[in-house]
Structure 1
Amino acid sequence: MNFEIRKYNDSDLGDLVDLMVQLGYQHTERSLSENIYAVRESGGEIFVADSMGKVYGCICAIFDIRLAAGVNGEIVSLVVDSSARGMGVGKGLVAEAESWLKQKTNSLRVRANSVRSEAHDFYKSLGYSFSKTQSVFTKNV
């Protein structure tokens, strides 16, 4: 499959809603559009893998800024359509996000849910190494 990695544009929204389902998240076009706006407003970017007008994957590049740990670029929300996995789409998306993030920081991280062992293996194959385990606590306010 030939694909182009590029920045997200509004015509990609429907395909991204479908991809989020494959990642395990239910969104409407409105809710996802609001998230995209928030990512960009906070200095992040979304990249997509496009082949002939259809988006087969996406990735989000953001910054995590902490008092103790400083500024880290983060790769989040990587998903490749099930029909395009194993074709280099994910590697292309990661490479684009890394290239974009490296312009602003020299530390890159990725987080993957503990149940996604395939994702862990994928990131290790790209040179990422395991650094710590955390628990996430959520409070709706």
Structure 2
Amino acid sequence: MTDALTLRNAHAADAAEIARLAAELGYATPVEAMSERLGALLSHPNHHVSVAEQGAALLGWIAVEHRCTLESGERIEIVGLVVDASHRGGGVGRMLVADAERWARQRGFEAISVRSNIARDASHPFYESLGYVRRKTQHCYTKTLAP
């Protein structure tokens, strides 16, 4: 008999598994750094992180943020979603997105947004199948600052 898949809020002790999953998408992060980041987000009311768990393993996680910008005001945005490669296509991502949407509704929002890297081909039809509509394409720039 296999353990049931459960959805729950992330805990500080999940840092190693969250880091492992993030590395699957190319975001290799030392566990100590992930632990610090997770601690900061878990203690902030404008952030929500949930995990899909089966037995002792995390099969995925989602991070959602209530943000406010000058140009568009307040909104809820999915800022990270990872499902273990061996469990993709099995409903874990849908379960995590549904949790993010539930969190947004609880906060009084009628919409939620997500950004998806153009290189993540599989994620685009996934979000579209959930009713998300592409609004724009953009470039992301980074500049390393001199000390």
What TM bracket, shorter-length normalisation?
over 0.9
Specify which of 55, 69, 74 is matched with residue 71 of structure 1: 74
Does 1:22 find its partner at 2:27?
no
- Name the counterpart of 1:7: 9
Larger radius of gyration between Structure 1 and Structure 2: 2
Count of matched residue pairs = 141
Q: Percent identity?
A: 36
Unaligned runs of 5+ in 1: none
8 A contact 2:46–2:67 mirrored in 1: no
Letter in 1 for 2:28: Q
> Residue 117 of structure 1: CA displacement?
1.4
Q: Residues of 2 paired with 1:134 and 1:65: CA distance? A: 19
Report the counterpart of residue 33 of structure 1 in structure 2. Answer: 35
Question: Which residue does 2:105 correspond to in 1?
Answer: 102
Corresponding residue for residue 119 of structure 2? 115
RMSD across aligned positions (CA): 1.5
Q: Specify the SS of the correspondent of 1:6.
A: strand
TM-score, length-scaled by structure 1: 0.92
